[in-house]
Amino acid sequence: MYLKVESLEKRYGHLVPVSGLSFSLGQGELLGLLGPSGCGKTTTLRMISGLIHATSGKIIVGGHDVTHLPTYRRNMGVMFQSYALFPHMTIAENVAFGLEMRKLSKADIAQRVSSALSMVRLPALGNRKPLQLSGGQQQRVALARALVIEPDILLLDEPLSNLDAKLRDEMRNEIREIQQRLRMTTVFVTHDQTEAMAICDRIVVMNRGKLEQIGTPHEIYERPSTPMVADFVGRINRIRCRWRDDGAIAFGHTAIGAVSTGPAGSEVLVMVRPHRIELRSAGAKAGRAEGENTIPGTVRQVTYIGDSLQYAVESEGEKIMVEQATTSAGDTYKPGDAVTLNWRARDTLTFAAEADV
Amino acid sequence: MKDSAAVDQSNSSRRAAGVVFGLLLPILIVNIIAFVVPVLNLAAMSFRSATAIGSLDEALTLSTWQSLLGDTFYWSILWRTVWMGALITAVTLLLSYPLALFVSRRSGWVKTVLVVACISPLLISAVVRTYGWMVILGNQGFLPALIRASGFTPPRLINNEFGVLVGMTEILMPYMILSLLSGFGRLDPILDQAAETLGARPLTVLRRIVLPLSLPGILLGCLLCFVLAVSSFITPKMLAGGRVSLLATEIYDQAIVTLNWPLAACLSVFILFVFGAALLAYGQLSKIVD
Q: Are A72 and B199 in contact (CB under 8 A)?
A: yes
pLDDT tens track for A133-156: 998 899 999 999 999 999 999 999
For residue B222, give the CATH number of its domain: 1.10.3720.10
pLDDT tens track for B207-258: 999 999 999 999 999 999 999 999 998 899 999 888 888 999 999 988 888 8
* Mean pLDDT, all residues of chain B: 90
As a whole number of angstroms, the distance between CA B45 and CA B259 comes to 13
pLDDT tens track for B125-137: 999 999 999 999 9
Give the total residue count for chain B.
290
As a whole number of angstroms, the distance between CA A32 and CA A333 comes to 39
Residues of A in contact with B186 (CB under 8 A): 87-88
Quick one: average pLDDT of B254-279?
Answer: 90
Which residue of B lies nearest to A153 if distances are taken between CA atoms? Answer: B197
As a whole number of angstroms, the distance between CA A97 and CA A99 comes to 5
Quick one: average pLDDT of A73-96?
Answer: 94
Quick one: average pLDDT of A321-336?
Answer: 82
As a whole number of angstroms, the distance between CA B54 and CA B255 comes to 9
Say yes or no to pLDDT of B176 above 90: yes
Q: Do A78 and B197 touch (CB under 8 A)?
A: yes
What pLDDT, on a 0 to 100 scale, did the predictor assign at position B258?
86
In a domain, B145, yes or no: yes
Q: Are A91 and A141 in contact (CB under 8 A)?
A: yes
Total domain count, chain B: 1
Provide the pLDDT confidence category of residue A325 given band limits of 50, 70 and 90.
confident
In a domain, B113, yes or no: yes
Q: Are A213 and A220 in contact (CB under 8 A)?
A: yes
Provide the pLDDT confidence category of residue A356 given band limits of 50, 70 and 90.
low
Q: Do B201 and A78 touch (CB under 8 A)?
A: no
Quick one: average pLDDT of B10-20?
Answer: 85
Distance, in angstroms, between A268 CA and closest chain B CA? Answer: 47
- The domain of B177 spans 72-289
In a domain, B30, yes or no: no
Which of A205, A204, A168, A201 has the alpha carbon at shortest distance from A185? A201
Please tell me which of the candidates B186, B204, B213 has its beta carbon nearest to residue A101. B204
In a domain, B217, yes or no: yes
pLDDT tens track for A178-231: 999 999 999 999 999 999 999 999 999 999 999 999 999 999 999 999 999 999
Distance, in angstroms, between A332 CA and closest chain B CA? Answer: 52
As a whole number of angstroms, the distance between CA B125 and CA B234 comes to 11
Which residue of A lies nearest to B190 if distances are taken between CA atoms? Answer: A84
Cross-strand bridge partners of residue B56:
B50
Please tell me which of the candidates A51, A87, A97 has its beta carbon nearest to residue B198. A97
Q: Do A51 and B209 touch (CB under 8 A)?
A: no
Please tell me which of the candidates B190, B201, B213 has its beta carbon nearest to residue A72. B201
Q: Are B194 and A86 in contact (CB under 8 A)?
A: yes
Q: Do A86 and B194 touch (CB under 8 A)?
A: yes
Provide the pLDDT confidence category of residue B6 given band limits of 50, 70 and 90.
low
Say yes or no to pLDDT of B1 above 60: no
Q: What percent of chain B has pLDDT over 90?
A: 64
Q: Are B265 and B46 in contact (CB under 8 A)?
A: yes
Please tell me which of the candidates A49, A85, A86 has its beta carbon nearest to residue B197. A49
Q: Do A86 and B186 touch (CB under 8 A)?
A: no
What are the structural domains of chain A? 3-232 (3.40.50.300), 237-355 (2.40.50.140)
| Lowest mean pLDDT segment, chosen from A90-99, A281-290, B24-33, B199-208 | A281-290
Q: Do B194 and A80 touch (CB under 8 A)?
A: yes
The one-letter amino acid at B249: T
> B88: alpha, beta or left, given left = phi > 0 and alpha = psi -120 to 50?
alpha
Which residue of A lies nearest to B213 if distances are taken between CA atoms? Answer: A88
Q: Are A43 and A198 in contact (CB under 8 A)?
A: no
In a domain, B255, yes or no: yes
When mean pLDDT is compared over A62-66, A278-282, B137-141, the highest value belongs to A62-66
Quick one: average pLDDT of B94-110?
Answer: 94
| Lowest mean pLDDT segment, chosen from A32-36, A330-334, B220-224 | A330-334
Say yes or no to pLDDT of A81 above 80: yes
A181 HSE (CA, 13 A, CB side)? 9
Which of A53, A71, A109, A138 should we substitute to test contact with B (largest number of B Cβ atoms within 10 Å)?
A: A71
pLDDT tens track for A260-292: 888 888 889 999 999 999 888 887 665 556 678
Residues of A in contact with B200 (CB under 8 A): 72, 97, 101
| Lowest mean pLDDT segment, chosen from A151-160, B90-99, B259-268 | B259-268
Please tell me which of the candidates B199, B201, B212 has its beta carbon nearest to residue A149. B199
Furthest C-alpha separation in chain A: 79
Strands, E, within chain A: which ranges? 3-12, 15-25, 30-34, 56-61, 64-65, 76-79, 153-157, 186-190, 202-207, 210-215, 237-243, 249-251, 254-256, 267-272, 278-281, 292-304, 308-315, 318-325, 338-344, 349-352
What pLDDT, on a 0 to 100 scale, did the predictor assign at position A192?
92
Q: Do A98 and B198 touch (CB under 8 A)?
A: yes
Which of B121, B207, B117 has the alpha carbon at shortest distance from B168? B121
Say yes or no to pLDDT of A349 above 60: yes
| Lowest mean pLDDT segment, chosen from A135-149, A248-262, A312-326 | A248-262
Which comes out higher in pLDDT, residue B108 or A288? B108
What pLDDT, on a 0 to 100 scale, did the predictor assign at position A284?
67
Roughly how many angstroms between the first and final C-alpha of chain B, as a whole number?
43
